[in-house]
Amino acid sequence: MSNALTSLYCTAFLGVKVVASGSLQHIVITVKDALNDRDLTQLLIFDDSTGKPVDVDFRGKTDDVLKRLEEQFGDLPSKEENHQPTRRAGRPKLGVVSGEVTLLPRHWEWLKSQPGGASVTLRKLIDEARRTGEKQSNVRESQEAAYNFMTAMAGDFHQYEEALRALYASDMDRFYHFIHDWAPDIRNHVKKLAAHVFPEGNL
């Protein structure tokens, strides 16, 4: 079985209700056995990482469905593979690479005055910038995932546009207020997708 089908985590909705969640493979097996053909045609499956719908052709037996999905997703690397660092034989875990840095005199003076000297200070500054960049990237990805799902499933819900504005303003209190009356499964999934936008509001 393709790694993509077991590492791509999704949530399946029938109407406004969640009927299955987990890996794409798990969802296909679960709903194929539990739902009739009419319900399967109305089922919507969303990628939990992007909030975008996943197109699944449920015709035929479960193995037929999975085989088609393998052909569709089989060449995609799993998320675990994407995050594995490249290791080279003989390379130390914490290698130090020298390079040239060009700074103005006042920059050098400031660096030299910091505890640990220029090299230590530069490494700390770079690490902090990387953490900040990753956090901002996570926020943007979370906003986009919530937006994609909300557009597909809640576009005609009460205060949808107000909720979107609060989402992109990172205003958690207003966002939660506007989606409070939405269908529970929809509301809870939106909160899940927006987790990195409002880390203090995680369920």
Quick one: pLDDT at residue 2?
58
In a domain, 97, yes or no: no
Give the chain's end-to-end CA distance (angstroms, integer).
33
Indicate whether 34 belongs to any domain: yes
- Angle in degrees, CA 63, 64, 69, rounded to 5: 95
Query: Using one digit for the tens of pLDDT, what is the confidence trace for 93-152?
Result: 555 666 777 777 887 788 788 887 777 777 777 777 777 666 677 889 999 999 999 999
How much is the average pLDDT of 191-199? Answer: 90
Structural domain harbouring 141: 135-203
Distances (CA, A) of 179 to 49, 67, 185, 196: 20, 38, 11, 17
Residue 46 burial (CB < 10 Å; 0-12/13-18/19+)?
A: buried
Is 46 a member of any domain? yes
Residue 197, C-beta contacts closer than 8 angstroms, at least 6 positions apart: 139, 142, 143, 146, 167, 170, 172
pLDDT in tens, 164-176: 999 999 999 999 9
The DSSP secondary structure of 43-59, one letter per residue, reads -EEEETTT--B------
In total, how many domains does the chain have? 2
Pair 74, 4: CB distance under 8 Å: yes
For residue 161, is it within any domain? yes
The last residue of one of the domains, among 81, 113, 148, is 81
- Is 101 part of a structural domain of the chain? no
Does residue 159 lie within any of the structural domains? yes
Dist CA 150 CA 144 (whole Å): 10
Domain finish residue from 57, 81, 105? 81
Residue 98 in any domain: the answer is no
Global pTM reads 0.70
Backbone φ, ψ for residue 44 (5° rounding): -120, 130
Residue 11 forms beta bridges with which residues?
21, 46
In a domain, 103, yes or no: no
